[in-house]
A and B are shown apart, each in its own frame.
Chain A
Amino acid sequence: MAEKVIYVMYDDEEVLKDGAKALVSKGIKIAEVFSPFPIHGIDPIIGIKNTRLGIMAFLYGLTGLMLATVGMRFFMVTDWPMNIGGKPNFSYLENMLAFVPVTFEFTVLCAAHGMAITYLLVNKTLPGMPAQNPDPRTTDDRFVMEIRLSDNLQSSEKEIDAIIENTGFVEIDKKEIK
């Protein structure tokens, strides 16, 4: 079923934020905001939850820490206790200090790359993906709010238009999308 979407364009992020507040206070759901840079304070207004990528980074870091520990214990203690100056590595703990640098580096390696890859995947931003911003100017100096009629069945299109009218927008565009 084709769906009607309203794109409201602003030339200032503060005006968009005030407009979004006005719309939300009337019970209108804003589906998406496109902007050239992060608009601080927009997330709670349009109901975006904070990302959990930080937690993921911690978990990836833990994985790295564990892999490094298990790996070095196997290489340096179990499989071949390397004899350096007549002091072979017979126990992990007694030799742990020498393993700290690599453990740290590997933890950072896993945390950083794990998080970066997850970030690209959840964003669905990957090489070759098509751009999805409704107007090319949204990566320059325009800010666009997307309102879907199907999200707002309680209000008619006219009612929504009436609220948008007073928010100081610069352009409005309505599209049928599939």
Chain B
Amino acid sequence: MQKEAAIREPLILGHKSYHDVTEDVCRPIEDKAPRMWYILFGIALIIALYGIGCIVYLLGTGIGVWGLNKTIGWAWDITNFVWWVGIGHAGTLISAVLLLFRQKWRMAINRSAEAMTIFAVFMAGLFPLIHMGRLWVGYWVLPLPNQFGSLWVNFNSPLLWDVFAISTYLSVSLVFWYIGLIPDFATIRDRAKKPVSKKMYSILSFGWSGRAKHWNRFETVSLVLAGLATPLVFSVHSIVSFDFATSIVPGWHTTIFPPYFVAGAVFSGFAMVQTLLLVMRKAMGLEAYIHTKHIEYMNIVIMVTGSIVGTAYITELFISWYSGVEYEAYAFLNRATGPYWWAYWSMMTCNVISPQLMWIRKLRRSLLFTFFISIVVNIGMWFERYVIIVTSIHRDYLPSAWSMHYPSHIDIGVYIGTIGIFFVFFLLFARYFPVLALNEIKTILKGSGQSYKEAPDYHKHH
């Protein structure tokens, strides 16, 4: 057992035994779902179905139904893609980077944050696919032997790098998440009374038995996967930023993009984790495991990454002037004072000012305030991508081609729809999957549990 300093706040409140941890996490799965769950699920399902309807209409008609025009060929689709991928980054950061740094507070949030990652990356992947217009030829992005001649995909293109990055990221996150889930499914399996759920969890748990050798392998696999996922998570958003940074469009052609996008991704991802967890901990009675300290830690991450993002915005502005390239300078002047000024200043307010409020201890420990800021940050990060994408291309080198982008109702429907689909997945996860890594929590119970830390013999040496 690893001991920690007395001044460190305990990570698990109250007096919990190993069995209590199992009970607290499994009870919401075994009990009947509360009425609120059905209401939320119903709302999410309706929105999801509307979104699917919009996608079907889009596929049947063509992407002309989006509000794109000859100047603005990329708008909400890619904005939503980057927004969702960014949200996905928090889960991997929590489960992989914090594992490498041996941060124990990650154990309360890693499972649900990773679930969020996977569902968010699903939503992200949807946009490039439907953007093809012909979904059924989606496999053409893979280097498959074909009868079109010597025709291969272009490995020099950042868009193809993105294909590899996103699919690797999605599948590796999925595997990492599932390997952690197996022992917890086994716990549910061994408690299940009803034959159907017993059978289901038995299949899901792959016959896990908790042998010492298996745990030995489990820990190595987790560590190595974390080591692989850490550079992966940084590479994925760097590559997403290359989609823009390797072009010659003023406002996109920027070397600062990769670190700036990664920081922005972590920033928005943590905000989404806060939004989801603040509701989940309350609804599922997990306040003892995800408490103010966890929220505070996450707010500090939001503050730090928000400051990096803010610095990047200001650096961009400075460099556009300092470079002496008038096209570059105009692109940024136009962002701040042109017809899209409102999007730019919404982004600046949400992403630069709001995270700075987290310097105040009282605010970053306030759950209500955190919830509010987490929504603000998510709105701000959507605007960030919109500003980068649309304002950079709506006024290009040729003033006669200048144009504005007005989203069609299909643009809006597909976007809102993905939020619905995301919540359908997340609510199903919260209903049937262990939302805390319950067996991992047990390993820190004696070292970081409140009643154990407050016991008189805790600081005695063995």
Which residues of chain B are near A43, meaning CB under 8 Å? 212, 216
Q: Which of B17-25, B125-133, B270-278 contacts the other chain?
A: B17-25
Task: Given A102-B160, A105-B161, A119-B179, decide whether A76 and B152 contact each other with a Cβ distance below 8 A.
Answer: yes
Give the contacts of B218-238 with A (CB-CB under 8 A).
218-221, 223-225, 228-229, 231-232, 235
Give the contacts of B46-88 with A (CB-CB under 8 A).
none
Closest B residue to A144 by CB, please name it.
B210
Which residues of chain B are near A115, meaning CB under 8 Å? 221, 224-225
Task: Given A39-B215, A126-B206, decide whether A80 and B151 contact each other with a Cβ distance below 8 A.
Answer: yes
With the chains together, A160 CA to B176 CA distance in Å? 41
State whether the Cβ of A139 lies closer than 8 Å to any Cβ in chain B. Answer: yes
On whether the beta carbons of A131 and B22 are closer than 8 Å, the reply is no
Which residues of chain A are near B151, meaning CB under 8 Å? 80
Which residues of chain B are near A3, meaning CB under 8 Å? none
On whether the beta carbons of A76 and B155 are closer than 8 Å, the reply is yes
With the chains together, A71 CA to B179 CA distance in Å? 30
Which residues of chain B are near A14, meaning CB under 8 Å? 1
State whether the Cβ of B143 lies closer than 8 Å to any Cβ in chain A. Answer: yes
> Nearest Cβ in chain A — how far from B3, in angstroms?
13
Q: Which of B181-189, B369-377, B385-393, B410-418 contacts the other chain?
A: B181-189
Q: Which of A28-36, A150-158, A166-174 contacts the other chain?
A: A28-36
> Nearest Cβ in chain A — how far from B136, in angstroms?
23
> Nearest Cβ in chain B — how far from A35, in angstroms?
5
Which residues of chain A are near B22, meaning CB under 8 Å? 36, 140-141
State whether the Cβ of B440 lies closer than 8 Å to any Cβ in chain A. Answer: yes
On whether the beta carbons of A98 and B228 are closer than 8 Å, the reply is no
Which residues of chain A are near B225, meaning CB under 8 Å? 112, 115-116
> Nearest Cβ in chain A — how far from B258, in angstroms?
11
State whether the Cβ of B154 lies closer than 8 Å to any Cβ in chain A. Answer: yes
On whether the beta carbons of B206 and A125 are closer than 8 Å, the reply is yes
Task: Given A101-B165, A109-B171, A140-B191, decide whether A38 and B155 contact each other with a Cβ distance below 8 A.
Answer: no
Closest B residue to A123 by CB, please name it.
B214
Task: Given A14-B1, A57-B224, A140-B18, decide whether A131 and B152 contact each other with a Cβ distance below 8 A.
Answer: no
With the chains together, A133 CA to B206 CA distance in Å? 13
State whether the Cβ of B103 lies closer than 8 Å to any Cβ in chain A. Answer: no
Which residues of chain A are near B229, meaning CB under 8 Å? 112
Q: CB within 8 A of A101: which of B152, B214, B215, B235?
A: B235
State whether the Cβ of A136 lies closer than 8 Å to any Cβ in chain B. Answer: yes
Interface string of A59-80 (1 = CB under 8 A from B): 0010000000001100110011
On whether the beta carbons of B439 and A37 are closer than 8 Å, the reply is yes
State whether the Cβ of B282 lies closer than 8 Å to any Cβ in chain A. Answer: no
With the chains together, A84 CA to B156 CA distance in Å? 9
With the chains together, A86 CA to B160 CA distance in Å? 20
On whether the beta carbons of A112 and B156 are closer than 8 Å, the reply is no
State whether the Cβ of A24 lies closer than 8 Å to any Cβ in chain B. Answer: no
> Nearest Cβ in chain B — how far from A146, in angstroms?
9
> Nearest Cβ in chain B — how far from A13, in angstroms?
8
On whether the beta carbons of A136 and B164 are closer than 8 Å, the reply is no
On whether the beta carbons of A34 and B210 are closer than 8 Å, the reply is yes
> Nearest Cβ in chain A — how far from B345, in angstroms?
34
Which residues of chain B are near A137, meaning CB under 8 Å? 190
With the chains together, A164 CA to B223 CA distance in Å? 35
> Nearest Cβ in chain A — how far from B140, in angstroms?
14
Number of chain A interface residues as a range: 35 or more
Interface string of A100-137 (1 = CB under 8 A from B): 01101110110111011001101111111111110011
State whether the Cβ of B315 lies closer than 8 Å to any Cβ in chain A. Answer: no
State whether the Cβ of B443 lies closer than 8 Å to any Cβ in chain A. Answer: yes
With the chains together, A119 CA to B223 CA distance in Å? 13
With the chains together, A95 CA to B160 CA distance in Å? 16
On whether the beta carbons of B18 and A141 are closer than 8 Å, the reply is yes
State whether the Cβ of B207 lies closer than 8 Å to any Cβ in chain A. Answer: yes
State whether the Cβ of A82 lies closer than 8 Å to any Cβ in chain B. Answer: yes
Which residues of chain A are near B167, meaning CB under 8 Å? 109
Closest B residue to A34 by CB, please name it.
B210
On whether the beta carbons of B215 and A35 are closer than 8 Å, the reply is yes
Which residues of chain A are near B176, meaning CB under 8 Å? 112
Closest B residue to A38 by CB, please name it.
B215
State whether the Cβ of A54 lies closer than 8 Å to any Cβ in chain B. Answer: yes
> Nearest Cβ in chain A — how far from B228, in angstroms?
5
Interface residues of B (CB under 8 A from A): 1, 17-19, 22, 143, 150-156, 158, 160-161, 164-165, 167-168, 171-172, 175-176, 179, 182-183, 186-187, 189-191, 202-221, 223-225, 228-229, 231-232, 235, 239, 242, 439-440, 442-443
Other A-B pairs, 7, CB within 8 Å; known A79-B152, A102-B161: A42-B212, A71-B143, A109-B167, A112-B171, A112-B229, A115-B225, A125-B208
Could you list 28 A-B pairs, sorted by A, with CB under 8 Å? A36-B439, A37-B183, A37-B442, A38-B218, A51-B216, A57-B228, A76-B155, A79-B150, A80-B152, A82-B152, A82-B154, A84-B154, A95-B156, A105-B235, A105-B239, A111-B228, A112-B171, A116-B225, A119-B217, A120-B206, A123-B214, A126-B206, A130-B202, A130-B207, A131-B202, A131-B207, A136-B190, A138-B190
